[in-house]
Amino acid sequence: MSGSSATLNKIVGDRGVLDTKSIANRATSFWNPAPMQAKALVRPATSEDVSGILRHCNSSGQSVITQGGLTNCVSAVEPGLDDIVLSTEKMTGVIEIDKVGGTAIVEAGTVLQTVQETVAKEGMYFPLDLGARGSCTIGGNIATNAGGINVLRYGMMRNLVLGLEAVMADGTVMTSMNRMLKNNAGYDMKQLFIGSEGTLGVVTRAVLRLFPRPASRQDALVAMTGIEDVIRFLGKLQHELAGNLSAFEIMWGAYYRAVTGENGHRPPLPRDYPFYVVFQAEGSDPDADDARFERVLGDALEEGLIADAVLPKSAAETRAIWEIRENFEPALVKPPFYLYDVSLPIRDMAAYVASVEENVRKRWSDGRCVALGHMADGNLHFFVAPMEDGDFHMASDECVYGPLQQYGGSVSAEHGIGLEKICWLPHSKSTAEIQLMRTLKKSLDPNNILNPGRVLGP
C-alpha cells in the first residue's frame, strides 16, 4: 500500500478507502457504463474526514475528483488513473427539519428524492425536482446549481440554499449554516460554492429552504400547432392560474415521436403534432384549484390555443405523462447522441431551434436533432445524433452553439461547463469574468487539486 493510501486509511478507516481494483466494479458515471478508473476512492463520513483528506492531498499536490450521484451531464466526474475520488456516499441524512422557519439541514451525500420524501412526511416541500431525483445528491445539486422542472416558481438551487458548509482545498472547514432569508452581514460566501462544480471546495452540509406542502396538484399534457401558441399559452397560464403554475415543459414533435411508439412510451396524444407541453400547477385549495385549472384549459381549447389535451385521472396516469418528458434514455441514448443545455430569450426560441435543425441537416443528411426543455426558464435541451461513425462532438457543438451568440444565449443553462464546454465558455462569459474566475480559483485552490481542468481548463 502506498504512503498516500495508508494516510487515507488512517483518516477514514480501512472500509472508507477502495483501491483501483474495487473501484473497477463501479460504472464511470450515469452516462458511461465503462468501469471506473482511479488511484483510490475515499468515502469520508464527516466534515473532519473531508478536511483531513484535502489537507493531505493538498500537501502532496494530489488531484481529487468529488463525486455525488454521478448524474453529471458535462463529463465533470470521470476520474483518471492518477486521481483520487472523494465520494460523499457515506455523508447522508436529513439532520433537522424546522417547520416554523421552513428549513432542513441535510448532509451533502443525501439523495434528492430522500430529502423530498423525508420533508413531505412533515407536511413540508422541497421544490427542486429533476429526472435524476433518485440518484443525484444535494451536494451535486449545489455544486451544479441544479435547475429542473420547478424553477419557474421556486428558482434554481441558488435560491433554495440558505447556508452551507464547505471544506476548502487546504482543509479549512468554512461553516456558514445560515437559516435566515435575510442576512447581509458581509459577502454571501455560500454563493461562491453554488454552481462552482466542485472546483472551489467540497460541500459537506447545507441548510435548504422548505415550503408548505401544496394541498393540490394538477397536471396536463397538451398538443399545439405553433410555437407562438405555446408562448401565448404559457402567458395565459401564468396570468390565470393565480400564480400556481410550477412547471411548463415543451417537447418538439420530433422528440415526442422519438420517445413514444413501438419501442417507447405509450402516446396519450396522436404523434403528429409539431409541439407538446406537459405542465403542472400546485395550490392550497383542491376544489377551487381543480375547477380553475379545468376552466383555463377549456378556454384555451375553445380559443384554439391548444389542439388536444389529456388530463390524467390517477397518480399512474400522471407519472405516465411525465415519463414521456423525463425518461428519454431508452429511445435517445443509443446511437450516441450529444446532449445540450442552452438558454436564450423565449421569444427567440423558434428561430434558434430552426437554425440548429438546419445546421444539423446540412452537416449530416441523416442526422437527427430533437429539442425539448424547461421553456418558461428560457432553457432548451437538444439531442443531436450525427448517425455516422466517429467522434463529431466539436462539429455538433458548432451546429448548436454557432447560432446562439446572436441571441445573447448561454452554452449552459443548468448542467455546467465540466470538461465538455471549456472551449465554449467565452461564448457566454466575458474575458474579465473568466479572469476573475481564474483569480478566485487560484486563491482558493493554489495547488489546483480540486476537480482540476474542470470549468476553466488546464
Contact in structure between 447 and 169 (CB atoms under 8 Å): yes
Strands 40-42 and 84-87, how do they pair? Answer: parallel
Q: Please pick, from the candidates 23, 57, 119, 146, the single residue that binds ligand FAD as defined by CB under 6 A.
A: 146
Residue 211 interacting with ligand FAD (CB under 6 A):
no
b/e per residue 252-275 (b: at least 16 CB within 10 A)? bbebbbbbbeeebbebbbeeebbb
Q: How far apart are CA 397 and CA 335, in angstroms?
A: 17
Residue 54 interacting with ligand FAD (CB under 6 A):
no
Residue 69 interacting with ligand FAD (CB under 6 A):
yes
Contact in structure between 245 and 238 (CB atoms under 8 Å): yes
| Residue among 248 and 364 whose Cβ is closer to ligand FAD | 248
Q: Please pick, from the candidates 11, 18, 94, 132, the single residue that binds ligand FAD as defined by CB under 6 A.
A: 132
Residue 72 interacting with ligand FAD (CB under 6 A):
yes
Sign of the alpha-carbon torsion through 427, 432, 437, 439: positive
Read off the amino acid at residue 237: L
Q: Which residues pair with residue 64 across a beta bridge?
A: 84, 450
Residue 137 interacting with ligand FAD (CB under 6 A):
yes
Q: What is the DSSP letter of 241?
A: T
Residue 139 interacting with ligand FAD (CB under 6 A):
yes
Residue 140 interacting with ligand FAD (CB under 6 A):
yes
Q: Please pick, from the candidates 7, 26, 45, 131, the single residue that binds ligand FAD as defined by CB under 6 A.
A: 131
Where in 7-46 is the site for ligand FAD (CB under 6 A)?
30
End-to-end CA distance of the chain: 30
Residue 144 interacting with ligand FAD (CB under 6 A):
yes
Where in 239-258 is the site for ligand FAD (CB under 6 A)?
none
Q: Please pick, from the candidates 62, 63, 141, 178, the single residue that binds ligand FAD as defined by CB under 6 A.
A: 141
Residue 343 interacting with ligand FAD (CB under 6 A):
no
Q: Which residue is nearest to ligand FAD (CB)?
A: 140
- Nearest distance from C-beta of residue 221 to ligand FAD, angstroms: 18
Tell me which residue has cell 478566485.
Answer: 440
Strand order in the sheet with 64-67: 17-19, 40-42, 84-87, 64-67
Residue 356 interacting with ligand FAD (CB under 6 A):
no
Residue 449 interacting with ligand FAD (CB under 6 A):
no
Where in 80-99 is the site for ligand FAD (CB under 6 A)?
88
Residue 63 interacting with ligand FAD (CB under 6 A):
no
Over the window 385 to 414, marking each residue x when it contacts ligand FAD by CB under 6 A and - when it does not, the resulting string is: -----------------------------x
Strands 202-209 and 161-167, how do they pair? Answer: antiparallel
What cell was used for 176?
A: 456558514
CA dihedral angle for residue 416, residue 108, residue 375, residue 264, rounded to 10 degrees:
100
| Residue among 147 and 289 whose Cβ is closer to ligand FAD | 147
Q: How far apart are CA 113 and CA 332, in angstroms?
A: 24
Residue 382: which of 365, 362, 359, 366 has the closest Cα? 359
Residue 342: which of 248, 444, 438, 415 has the closest Cα? 415
Q: Please pick, from the candidates 51, 62, 67, 428, the single residue that binds ligand FAD as defined by CB under 6 A.
A: 67
Strands 40-42 and 17-19, how do they pair? Answer: antiparallel
Q: Please pick, from the candidates 85, 161, 203, 321, the single residue that binds ligand FAD as defined by CB under 6 A.
A: 203
Q: Which residues pair with residue 108 across a beta bridge?
A: none
Residue 198 interacting with ligand FAD (CB under 6 A):
yes
Size of site (CB under 6 A) for ligand FAD: 34
Residue 148 interacting with ligand FAD (CB under 6 A):
yes
Residue 147 interacting with ligand FAD (CB under 6 A):
yes
Point out which residues bind ligand FAD (CB under 6 A): 30, 66-73, 76-77, 88, 108, 130-132, 136-137, 139-141, 143-144, 146-148, 197-198, 202-203, 414-415, 451, 454
